[in-house]
Structure 1
Amino acid sequence: MDNIKTLALHIRSAESIVVLTGAGVSTASGIPDFRSSEGLWTEDQSREYFMSTSYFEQEPEDFWKKYKAIFRLKLLKDYKPNLVHRFIKDLEAGSRSVTVITQNVDGLHEAAKSSSIIEYHGTLNTSSCPRCHGSFSLNYVMGMDVPRCDQCRVVLKPDVLLFGDLITAHEDAEQAIREADLMLVMGTSLLVTPFNLLPYTALEGDVTTAILNNEPTDKDRLFDYVIHEDLSLAVDQLTKYL
């Protein structure tokens, strides 16, 4: 509880906050944590093979069948931002700058109206034409078994980062951390590289750091404040002190 109170004081005084989020932020919205011990990725490791750029290029039609099933795209529009997403949005109160750097591809930070979002692993909500780079909505993608560009007739590629794709957001994420006075890491086990290298950027500067997660991580030692608690409960406690 002392950590919660002290962290609330840091939040109050911070002018610029960066928030790193993982799957634990969205579980209260009903979205499963794909990489938890009971997550979908552990059920069948071949999912990583099928959710790769190389498989998309080799078998685009079968890729889309598996992609829609694995990511449960039919349900995506039913998911809504939860208390944690709204808490992060509300951090923007006053003139405070808040940047969200998220591993999540569900688009719920955008739905919660957060002003500045770096979608580190892309988004499920849109797909693009590899030829003309036109962008297409989730509704368009769900309107056909294998979505194609309405101009080029080329099979669309999801805007979520696939295995084998290059990370393009890392430098922007590092810059946002360097410009912050407080970094909150919420709902991630920090197992995925290179996202899990971002906390080291905070160590290089004068950035106060805190991690809030429902279980310990291997990176806990890097943080000034460590809170092991269900995120919804932790956020509720923080809100009382704010």
Structure 2
Amino acid sequence: MSIVEKIGMKEAAERIKKAQKITFLTGAGVSTPSGIPDYRSLKGIYQGHEQPEYLLSHEAMVQEPEKFYQFVQQLYHPDAQPNVIHKVIAGLEKEKAVWLVTQNIDGLHEKAGSKNRINFHGSLYSCSCRKCGCPVPWTSYVVSDRHEDCGGQIRPNIVLYGEGFQEKVLEDAVSAVEQAETIVIVGTSFQVHPFCDLLAYKQPQAEIIVVNQTPISLFEPYAFVEADGVNVFQQIEEIKE
């Protein structure tokens, strides 16, 4: 069982603001306030599908490209804008040593200006042709999954079920966790491997703060604020140095 220290929003905001070497680990709950559905909630994109993981798998992309493409198209929300969580994380990067490792593939952390960012599962807004290997604009992909130059299948550069991770992505994520004095987990159930395994690389003395609507299960003690991340990060924004 996790050893959980429950703290209020104000204290969480103050601890995060005071920390000097922070690594944020973020999930789908960070982007829901921007209008992007999560995956597994009652309003999530998996609802109504019998095998949603299959539809986001390498196997589906190869064996049933039309089904795969139809499912992936609904993941795009190009008009969505960063909310206060994305903006505060990007802003803190200008003040202190901040790294961000995100499960999200929606590009909002990038839009907000986070530079020290590791897109752990890739990005929908980076696409390439499986036949010729050329990069393809995402704007072309949402119109057709066929590359007009060679007829090959276009894919978003995201990690699908059944695919491995690039070594550099794993190394960068581990490094981001290793250097942190404070690790802030935001908007994720923290159950997807290998993302949730990153904590194995934290420094023994590093503090973990979890900002989430529900508790998560960790093998490490953590401070937990049960709240909408928007409210916590608004408080961080309001704290004056």
TM-score by length of 1: 0.87
Q: 1:112 to 1:192 in 2, by over 3 A?
A: same
Q: Determine if contact 1:214/1:230 at 8 Å carries over to the other structure.
A: yes
State the alpha-carbon separation in 2 of the partners of residues 206 and 117 from structure 1: 23
2:57 matched to 1:56? no
The CA deviation at 1:178 is: 0.3
Which residue of structure 2 lines up, in the alignment, with residue 78 of structure 1? 79
Q: Determine if contact 2:12/2:232 at 8 Å carries over to the other structure.
A: no
State the alpha-carbon separation in 2 of the partners of residues 114 and 147 from structure 1: 32
Q: What are the Cα deviations for residues 135-190 of structure 1, in whole angstroms up to 9, with x where unaligned?
A: 1222111233x331x44321112212211111222332111110122111111111
Q: Determine if contact 2:84/2:230 at 8 Å carries over to the other structure.
A: yes
Q: What are the Cα deviations for residues 88-145 of structure 1, in whole angstroms up to 9, with x where unaligned?
A: 1111233x1211111111000000011111111111112112243221222111233x
Q: In structure 2, give the amino acid aligned to 1:82.
A: N
Which residue of structure 1 lines up, in the alignment, with residue 222 of structure 2? 224
Q: 1:49 to 1:8 in 2, by over 3 A?
A: closer
Which residue of structure 2 lines up, in the alignment, with residue 207 of structure 1? 206
The 5-angstrom pairing of residues 177-196 of structure 1 reads 177-196=177-196
State the alpha-carbon separation in 2 of the partners of residues 210 and 3 from structure 1: 11
Q: Determine if contact 2:23/2:176 at 8 Å carries over to the other structure.
A: yes
The CA deviation at 1:238 is: 2.7
State the alpha-carbon separation in 1 of the partners of residues 158 and 165 from structure 2: 11
Could you say what secondary structure the match of 2:37 adopts? coil
2:167 matched to 1:162? no
Superposed CA RMSD in Å reads: 2.2
State the alpha-carbon separation in 1 of the partners of residues 220 and 46 from structure 2: 27
Q: What are the Cα deviations for residues 18-76 of structure 1, in whole angstroms up to 9, with x where unaligned?
A: 1000011001000111123542224323121122111211232342123214x2x3xx1
Q: Determine if contact 1:178/1:205 at 8 Å carries over to the other structure.
A: no
State the alpha-carbon separation in 1 of the partners of residues 94 and 171 from structure 2: 27
State the alpha-carbon separation in 1 of the partners of residues 216 and 42 from structure 2: 13
The CA deviation at 1:225 is: 1.5
Which residue of structure 1 lines up, in the alignment, with residue 93 of structure 2? 92
Q: 1:230 to 1:13 in 2, by over 3 A?
A: closer
Q: 1:227 to 1:130 in 2, by over 3 A?
A: same
Comparing 179-188 with 126-135, greater Cα deviation is found at: 126-135
Q: How many residues align?
A: 233
Could you say what secondary structure the match of 2:132 adopts? coil
State the alpha-carbon separation in 1 of the partners of residues 17 and 34 from structure 2: 27
TM-score by length of 2: 0.87
Which residue of structure 2 lines up, in the alignment, with residue 106 of structure 1? 106
State the alpha-carbon separation in 2 of the partners of residues 43 and 191 from structure 1: 22
Q: Determine if contact 1:100/1:117 at 8 Å carries over to the other structure.
A: yes
Q: What percentage of aligned pairs have identical amino acids?
A: 32
State the alpha-carbon separation in 1 of the partners of residues 224 and 136 from structure 2: 40
Which residue of structure 2 lines up, in the alignment, with residue 140 of structure 1? 140
Structure 1: which 5+ residue stretches go unaligned?
Answer: none
Which residue of structure 2 lines up, in the alignment, with residue 23 of structure 1? 28
State the alpha-carbon separation in 2 of the partners of residues 115 and 183 from structure 1: 18
* Residue 234 (structure 1) aligned to one of 225, 232, 237: 232
State the alpha-carbon separation in 1 of the partners of residues 194 and 17 from structure 2: 30
Q: Determine if contact 1:28/1:82 at 8 Å carries over to the other structure.
A: yes
Q: In structure 2, give the amino acid aligned to 1:47.
A: P
